Structure 1
Amino acid sequence: MGICGYFVAPWKCLVVIGVRLLFLVPAGVPARSGDSFSKDNITVRQGDSAVLKCTVDSKVSRVAWLNRTTILYAGADKWSLDPRVVRMDNTPVTEYSIKIQNVNVHDEGPYVCSILTSNKPKSSKVHLIVQGHKFVTEGEYVDMTAITKEQSGSYECISSNDISAPDVKTVKVTVNYAPFILKAGSTGTPVGQKGVLQCEASAVPGADFEWYKEDRRLLNGLNGIKIENQGKQSMLMFLNVSEEDYGNYTCVAMNTMGITNASIILYGPGTMMHDVNRAALSTHCSFCLLLTVFLLFLLKF
């Protein structure tokens, strides 16, 4: 079928052939009428308009603007489908100019004004340079190996150039980790008084808490017991302490990353306790309790 299709006007076919032949003319330096080729650079900021000018005279029979191998305008006819590309009509008769509105980095590159005269063809080449704001791309990153929970937080990426103010992007890094007990303890509580056992755990995602006495899970609201969870802290409260309430309790903290526990002793006033604080922070419990909690953990997550 050749260069032109069946539905292309004959004169447009001639323009295409003539324009493609003009591409074979070698590049030169900036010049005016009479030279075979002129070359220039235009620099604009991203978002502005770029005006591409071409000098013509009365001897011109055909003229067109091209971007690489795409015809933008041929004479007064627009070939480009891009609405941002328009021809400037209110210009001197010796000027054939087009405007590209709201330019972006994809518009950068060579543009050619191809002119056909009765004597010989000539071309004017313009290289459009678009200076844009710098943004973070997929190729710009920070590789954090063996990351720890201490490295979680907000990070700022700042890019700048001589064209515009620095561009700042904030990235929040969240490091998930299994719970660990921060604090666990109690005070001596007389029979008949209100007693409280406290357990605090750090975890991301936040920990869920469960309380056990030996291998029996304690439920909120049963047998005079109340459980309150507030953020990182869980409290096991006895509304009216009895002799049977004294003993060892286990606070279990768990999330999707793992599970941990601490033993806390509820004791009466005057009880001889050896290193109560160390016992409270102990992470040992019976095999049966660990097995029970682990099975519940698997069913939960």
Structure 2
Amino acid sequence: MQAGRKACWRQLQASFFRLLCLIPTGFPVRSVDMQRATDNITTRQGDTAIIKCYVDDKVSRVAWLNRSNIIFAGQDKWSLDPRVDLVTKGQLEYSLRIQKVDVYDEGSYTCSIQTKQQPKTSQVYLIVQVPANINKVSEDITVNEGSNVTLSCLASGRPEPVITWRLLNPLAEPLEGEEFLDIIGIMRNQAGRYECKASNDVATPDIKYVNVVVNYPPTIRKTQSSETPVGRMGMLQCEVTAVPTPEFEWYRDEKRLSNTQGINIQILGTTTVLVIANVTEEDYGNYTCVASNRLGVQNASLFLYRPGTGRDINGSACVSQSLWLLLASFACLFFKC
């Protein structure tokens, strides 16, 4: 037992003295023969890095070190990391290979060479880049028109990723914002799908999306009156923009209309159509379309009229319009305009 301990102690001493002979005094130093700065090797997280070192037949000892830790001394592996091994293509190459590189592998690596003349060292700094990754982004939101909105997009990577925003409308122009995109008094035309892109040129940019819904009260954008003879089918149409989708009501004077015999109310999203199957003299007149949601109400007047009574298809009075034009002409002549 005593003899075994002595043998083990002698082996440790031998290794220790071998290392002292191998590593130059005041390590790390740069060889006088190598008049250049430390080389940089850039690799991507998860890839394999090969750090090159070449020797000649005059070399007696060689080792790889990372900071102050010995990785290899000759062919003896000191590192316990299974990802690390040597690449020795022939007797002149003594390169270090690191598989599945990670950020903690970044740092200075030294190939230390002992020759008969003098020791030499070759230093390489390994830079590990990490692709941009968006790790937190705002959830889809619904807001009322005029509200202030802040969208967030947080990303990591090495180097630090650049974050850009776009609203994916037909123009899709870049927006001013980085990690946080502030929208003051959001309008209905700013609703849509927002794209957050994080890029650092290491890999394909990471992209995430945020859907923004903007609620606003109804606006009647188009009405269609009807010029219909007796006995034919008349149709009045009312087209609205609103979020959320509005509810519709139809009125004849003060009376609310419903689906009854001869009258059919159709609703197609944000458009409603009042259909009168068989127009009679009593059906001619003014109708009101009312659109409402929880943010507001708007109404418009439409007309069902017999042919030749002078109302245009949008419900305005052609006779009245002509009369106003005639009066304007007389006024212009009177005041010599």
TM over 0.5, shorter chain: yes
Give the one of 233, 242, 249 matched to 1:194.
233
Aligned residues of 1:28 and 1:39 also touching (Cα < 8 A): no
Aligned length: 249
After superposition, what is the alpha-carbon deviation per residue over 1:251-281, rounded to whole angstroms, capped at 9, x for unaligned? 3153x7x3332222343315576997469xx
Q: Unaligned regions of 5+ residues in structure 2, if any?
A: 1-10, 135-153, 156-161, 165-175, 178-182, 318-337
Match of 1:91 in 2: 89
1:110 aligns with 2:148: no
2:302 to 244, 265, 271: 265
> Counterpart in 2 of 1:239?
277
| Amino acid in structure 2 at the alignment position of 1:239 | A
Higher strand share: 2
The aligned runs of 1:214-233 (5 Å cut-off) are 218-219=257-258, 221-233=259-271
Corresponding residue number in structure 2 for 1:79: 80
Q: Compute the displacement of 1:217 (Å).
A: 5.4
The 8 Å contact of residues 287 and 303 in structure 2, kept in 1 or not, is answered as yes
Aligned to 1:125: 123
Which residue of 1 is the match for residue 163 of structure 2?
140
CA distance in structure 1 between the partners assigned to 2:70 and 2:315 by the alignment: 83
Matched residues in 2 for 1:209 and 1:121: separation? Answer: 88
**CA offset digits 1:160-196 (Å, max 9, x no partner):** 99x8999696968755242321112312334432121
Cα distance per residue 1:18-71 (max 9 Å; x no partner): 99xx9x9565546679xxxx94322456776421134674345xx4543x6887
Structure 1 residues 26, 231: CA separation in 2 closer, same or farther (over 3 Å shift)?
A: farther
Aligned twin of 1:53: 52
Paired with 1:199 and 1:30, the residues of 2 have a C-alpha distance of 87
For residue 41 of structure 1, what is the aligned residue in structure 2?
Answer: 40
Aligned match of 2:321: none
Are the structure 2 counterparts of residues 247 and 198 from structure 1 closer, same or farther at C-alpha, using a change threshold of 3 Å? same
Note the C-alpha offset of 1:200: 1.1
With structure 1 as the length reference, what TM-score do the two structures score? 0.55
Residue identity matched to 2:299: A
Which amino acid in the other structure matches residue 97 of structure 1?
S
Deviates more, 1:184-193 or 1:124-133: 124-133
Q: Secondary structure at the match of 1:267?
A: strand
SS at match of 2:227: coil
Q: Percent identity?
A: 29
For the 8 Å contact 1:109–1:128, the answer to whether it is kept is: yes
* Structure 2 Cα separation of the partners of residues 114 and 167 of structure 1: 36
Q: TM-score, normalised by structure 2?
A: 0.51
Structure 1: tracts of 5 or more residues without a match: 1-9, 280-301
For the 8 Å contact 1:64–1:114, the answer to whether it is kept is: yes
